[in-house]
Structure 1
Amino acid sequence: MFNIILFGPPGAGKGTQSEKLIDKYKLVHISTGDIFRGHIQQQTALGLKVSTLIANGELVPDSITIHMLEEEIEKTPDAVGFIFDGFPRTVAQAEALDAFLEDKGKVAGVIALDVNEDELRKRIAERQKISGRPDDAAEKLVKRIDEYFNKTVHVLPYYEAQGKLTRVNGIGEIEDIFQNLCKVIDGMK
């Protein structure tokens, strides 16, 4: 199994690039944000709890996130591999993912999309006009970006120490960024 993590702050282009990478490499997309939104939409007990946390711009606790992720992976046992988008967000989640994937094919690599804060704010403001996602609202956006740069970014040294981290410039034309991602992924195989 070939597993990669696409890493970056809110608005970096993870979702856009994931779609293209899934088509090319036939990976199963695992987005914790999509999983959370699914539970929220279905109004499951977990969804109601997650809804409150996300609405306040907070991260969902590791135990809930990891459990939901493991359930999602188990749904597709014949997958060629997975592309993780928005996960892991803490070192504890990274360690749990490594342990869970031990017999399913380890994480081959982590690609961090580098995008500055000004560009992020611009992209999310545009996305909010189109999608209306509540987590893109201006007041929550500041909290989400701060959360990334103050907490989530600390996961990168974990993978860097394993020699699995590659940074890709996330600013530019979508297709150019995609081609750069493909070069990195092809080098992992």
Structure 2
Amino acid sequence: MRIVLVGPPGAGKGTQAAYLAKNLAIPHISTGDLFRANISQGTPLGVEAKSYMDAGNLVPDSVTIGMAEDRMEQADAVEGFLLDGFPRNLGQAEALDAFLQTKGLKLDAVLDLEVPEDEVVKRIAGRRICRKDSSHVFHVEYNKPQTEGVCDACGGELYQREDDREDTVRKRLEVYHSETEPIIDYYKAQDLVVTIPALGKVAEVTQRAMDALERGE
């Protein structure tokens, strides 16, 4: 299967993508992984992307599209893939369609993880990260530390990242609404969108998505 996963920040796309890709036995292709792999390997696209990033500029769509196309042509993606974070806007969606058409392929589904905006803000703004080890993540409501402000694992100080502040989260949501949400209408016109309520336990959301795919919704 060839699937695109979309949803606002905080919808749990990365977590769901990993579970779904495993269940469907297809590679999980995320924009973040594409950038890290290309930059660490020093590919021409990675070098180009790094030059923009080092200058504090946005990486052009052409570079992101090139990385995604290269990855989709790798052997493990021949029978299918799950895209997470790509396409991010209409231009990228159109480029993806054009690329697949040259291969005689098409998408099977676009899974739209639906989460109320207030819940998105609560999920992200409530995160607290350990200063000693950023892999230790807590939440003021959903995963409280035993002692407020102190990491259970190592005793480090817990803090809120700038990216997780409520005003920043709301700005990210504005960008999502203006840039990424339009691709949902684009794919609805192709009858590809399957809306998945993304509230509840991770396993429940994964099962909803798998059930929808099996029904061919």
Would you call these one fold, judging by a TM-score over 0.5? yes
The code of the aligned residue for 1:109 comes to A
Q: State the 1:51 CA deviation.
A: 3.3
Alignment gaps of 5+ in structure 1: none
Once structures 1 and 2 are overlaid, which stretch shifts more, 152-161 or 101-110? 101-110
Deviations 1:40-90 (A, max 9, x none): 55674234245358x78x6x4221111110111122366320101111111
Check 1:160–1:149 CA distance in 2 against 1; reply closer, same or farther (3 A cut).
same
Q: Is the 8 A contact 1:39 1:46 kept in 2?
A: no
SS at match of 1:107: coil
CA distance in 2 between counterparts of 1:65 and 1:128 reads 30
CA distance in 1 between counterparts of 2:127 and 2:215 reads 32
Check 1:91–1:20 CA distance in 2 against 1; reply closer, same or farther (3 A cut).
same
CA distance in 2 between counterparts of 1:52 and 1:149 reads 27
Q: When the two structures are superposed, what TM-score results if normalisation uses the length of structure 1?
A: 0.83
**190, 205, 210: which one aligns with 1:162:** 190
CA distance in 1 between counterparts of 2:53 and 2:120 reads 23
Check 1:141–1:76 CA distance in 2 against 1; reply closer, same or farther (3 A cut).
farther
**Aligned equivalent of 1:116:** 116
**Aligned equivalent of 1:171:** 199
**Aligned equivalent of 1:100:** 99
CA distance in 2 between counterparts of 1:23 and 1:75 reads 18
**144, 153, 177: which one aligns with 1:149:** 177
The code of the aligned residue for 1:176 comes to E
Q: Does residue 67 of structure 1 match 2:66?
A: yes
Q: State the 1:23 CA deviation.
A: 1.3
**Aligned equivalent of 1:10:** 9
The code of the aligned residue for 2:99 comes to F
SS at match of 1:143: helix
Q: State the 1:141 CA deviation.
A: 3.6
The structure having more radius of gyration, on CA atoms, is: 2
Alignment gaps of 5+ in structure 2: 138-160
What is the aligned residue count? 184
Percent identity of equivalent pairs: 40
SS at match of 2:181: helix
Q: Is the 8 A contact 2:27 2:81 kept in 1?
A: yes
CA RMSD for the aligned pairs? Answer: 2.8
Q: Is the 8 A contact 1:30 1:84 kept in 2?
A: yes
Q: When the two structures are superposed, what TM-score results if normalisation uses the length of structure 2?
A: 0.73
